[in-house]
């Protein structure tokens, strides 16, 4: 199931507009904050499909019946670009455990093609857990797939959610095809095209560089 937030009347449209804007992008702090706000908005939407239990809490004047999450998800992100969205989701799921994955494109010499290298992974156990993988740009879908496969070394989750600010149509279809049946995708906006170098068009550029500075 795919949830595209810009299809709704949502303030997320404003956050995404600023993320894409070449002038506003010059303010790295604003760029990171918009990614964080998109993470918060997606987390709230995601919480609507999770399981709850009824409990009682004591107020100064009596007892109140409340609905609380049965369990907190494991929030995973792909370094480094995913950190602001991860923080936004952690602001909402504030008792969640976190996982971090270092993955990057290793370009083939003299070619536009690349392979995905996963170098580092830190995660709690995932057996029977709800797993959320957050990456602001879902371009080809290869990184998401390789990261999920690497995370299976820590157990098999019972449910998978994928969160991205922007996805390409092609990458989303690739991820839907190869990730487990029942995976839910929470996407800010879906763009139609990619360049020959697999950058999303119109997209927003390199999210990691815009958030944290250009890399060597």
- Dump pLDDT digits (tens) for 33-74: 999 999 999 999 999 999 999 999 999 999 999 999 999 999
- Integer Cα distance of 81 and 97 in angstroms: 19
Residue 11, number of CB atoms within 10 A of its CB: 11
CATH of domain 2-51+64-212: 3.40.50.2020
Alpha-carbon gap, residue 49 to 188, rounded angstroms: 17
- Asked if the model's pLDDT at residue 80 lies above 90, the reply is no
pLDDT recorded at residue 132? 98
Q: What is the model's pLDDT at position 71?
A: 96
Helices (H), 48-189: 83-92, 142-151, 169-178
Q: Where are the domains of the chain?
A: 2-51+64-212
Q: State the DSSP code for 197.
A: T
What DSSP letter does each residue of 87-123 carry, written as one string?
A: HHHHHHSTT-EEEEEEEEEEEPTTSS-EEEEEEEEE-
Q: 88-138 pLDDT, tens per residue?
A: 999 999 999 999 998 766 655 666 666 677 778 899 999 999 999 999 999
Residue 216 has pLDDT above 80, yes or no: no
The CA distance from 200 to 30, in Å, is: 21
* Token duo for residue 72: 């907190």
Predicted TM-score (pTM) of this structure: 0.90
Cis previous bond, 211, omega within 30: no
């Amino acid at each position: 199931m795919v949830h595209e937030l810009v299809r709704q009347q949502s303030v997320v449209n404003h956050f995404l507009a600023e993320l894409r804007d070449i002038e506003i992008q010059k303010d790295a702090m604003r760029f990171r904050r918009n990614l964080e706000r998109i993470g918060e908005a997606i987390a709230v939407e995601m919480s609507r499909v999770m399981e709850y239990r009824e409990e009682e809490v004591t107020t100064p004047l009596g007892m109140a019946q409340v609905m609380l999450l049965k369990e907190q998800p494991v929030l995973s992100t792909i370094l480094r670009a995913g950190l602001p969205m991860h923080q936004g989701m952690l602001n909402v799921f504030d008792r969640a455990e976190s996982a971090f994955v270092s993955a990057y494109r290793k370009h083939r010499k003299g070619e536009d093609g690349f392979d995905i290298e996963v170098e580092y992974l830190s995660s709690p156990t995932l057996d029977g857990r709800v797993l959320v993988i957050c990456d602001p740009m879902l371009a080809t879908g290869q990184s998401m797939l390789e990261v999920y496969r690497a995370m299976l070394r820590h157990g098999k989750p019972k449910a998978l959610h994928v969160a991205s600010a922007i996805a390409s149509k092609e990458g989303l279809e690739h991820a839907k095809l190869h990730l487990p049946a029942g995976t839910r995708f929470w996407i800010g906006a879906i763009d139609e095209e990619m360049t020959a170098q697999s950058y999303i068009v119109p997209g927003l550029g390199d999210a990691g560089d815009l958030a944290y500075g250009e890399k060597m």
